[in-house]
Amino acid sequence: MKRRNLNTIIKKDLRGLMNERTILLAVLLQLFIALFSSFLVIGLASMYDPTTLSRFSGVRYGVAYAGTDSALEDYLRSNGQLVVFPMNLSQGVTLLGERKLSAVIYVPDIPPDSTEPVKITLYLLENDIQSAIVNVKLKAVLLQYEQDLRDVRESRLDIIPIPLQFPENTGGSSFYEFIYGLLIPLLVFLPAIIASALVIDLITEEYQHHTLETLLSTPMTLHEVIWGKILTCELLVPIQAGAWLILLSLNGILIEGIVPILMQLMAFSMVLILIGALTALYYRERTAAQFIFSTAVVVLMILALAIPDNPLNLVARIATGSAGLDQWVILGIVGLVVLFLSMVVYWYTIRASRTALTGG
């Protein structure tokens, strides 16, 4: 292959991508989100684990207490983030509907040592962010009161339960799991998936627009044309993923080993891009190629996730600085897969070049 011909194809495809406003807007939108990734992390983490949202709230919420007197009222008052207002149930529900209260708790007239269950009713606003926060704050209080009821009624137990010792929750595990176990791997591999789908469009449009004949009428070979498009897509992966990682770091998210992450990503993305290129060369029609490729990627992802050292876990381990020598072993194995697929692409382009000019 001649480097000059490859550069010509790369420049041609990059100019075409720069003229595609949809692609530019998508990239700019992702970078814009990454610039404010701190807010993104807080918002998405609250969906992943609503308890994380309560840590950023210093507001005191008004709660109506209705029903019989109990220790629960004392627990509510001892919570520094809640303001308790004793009132009847109907008045509390009315004020809740007017958003003058954040929650209403009704405790029935059932003694703690009764044989009947104590059914406490909690009223919250439906589909409200504030309700999610208040619900989290009330959970600890309700669990404390529940333990009191268990202590009072434990004499009626016929079977002594086995005590289980769990490590105390430090309060930061949810963020840790979400950022390093979910957010960073997904953001990093998103450009690889986009690039692998993009190479199909770049190849199939040459067949469908009948521009491949024009390219092959020059000193270029089909092998150079295809590899120019493959390298174009591969070039976009580290640029976009690197921008994600750098912007996340600027937002205060510590990421270890950005360079090893990009090396692993480029190797895995090249595998996907080569598979996409082979699919496009075989079908030569965008809709069919994209459908088959998407199905194949889903199957590959399911199989990969069944392996302990799958790409997502590996990136998470590198980002936290816990990856060892196995990351380089995996990189070498993926490199061999890339070499094999490259040979298949070379063989297929040599075979396809005989019929490319005739469209056969």
pLDDT digits (tens, 9 = 90+) for 133-147: 788 788 888 998 998
Residue range 287-310, pLDDT digits in tens: 888 899 889 888 888 887 778 778
Residue 152 reports pLDDT greater than 50: yes
The owner of tokens 């520094």 is: 80
Which pLDDT belongs to residue 39? 53
Mean pLDDT (the chain) is 80
Q: Going by DSSP bridges, is the β-strand pair 82-86/61-67 parallel, antiparallel, or unpaired?
A: parallel
What's the confidence (pLDDT) of residue 341? 92
Q: Determine the pLDDT at residue 311.
A: 82
pLDDT for the residue numbered 117: 87
Question: Would you say 291 and 197 are in contact if contact means Cβ atoms under 8 Å apart?
Answer: no
C-alpha to C-alpha distance for 44 and 8, rounded to whole angstroms:
42
Per-residue pLDDT at 282 exceeds 70: yes
Share of the chain above pLDDT 70, in %: 79
Kindly indicate the confidence band of residue 360, based on its pLDDT and cuts at 50, 70 and 90. very low
Model pTM above 0.85: no
- Higher pLDDT among residues 109 and 165, named by residue: 109
Given a cut of 70, whether residue 17 has pLDDT beyond it is no
Confidence band of 166 (pLDDT split at 50, 70, 90): low
Residue 182 pLDDT class (50, 70, 90 cuts): confident
Q: Which residue has the higher pLDDT, 19 or 298?
A: 298
pLDDT in tens, 225-267: 888 889 888 988 888 888 888 877 877 778 888 888 999 899 9
Q: How deeply is 16 buried, as exposed, middle or buried, from its count of CB atoms within 10 A (0-12, 13-18, 19+)?
A: middle
Is the pLDDT score of 40 beyond 60?
A: no
For residues 204-223, average pLDDT: 80
pLDDT at 308: 75
Distance CA 251, CA 142 (A): 36
For 91-122, write each residue's pLDDT tens digit: 999 999 888 898 999 999 988 888 888 899 99
Total Cβ atoms within 10 A of residue 260: 17
For the chain, the domains span 3-35+172-356, 53-152
The percent of residues in the chain predicted with pLDDT above 90, rounded, is 14
3-state secondary structure of 325: coil
What's the pLDDT at 188?
84
How do beta strands 61-67 and 121-123 pair? unpaired
The letter for the amino acid at 271 is V
Report which of 260, 228, 236, 246 is spatially closest to residue 329, judged by C-alpha positions: 260
What would the two tokens of residue 310 be? 């799958």
Say if residue 128's pLDDT is above 70: no
CB-CB contact of 124 with 134 (8 Å): yes
- Tell me what pLDDT residue 272 has: 92
Domain 53-152 listed as CATH 3.40.190.10? yes
- Is residue 336 predicted with pLDDT exceeding 90? yes
pLDDT tens digits, 337-351:
999 999 998 888 887
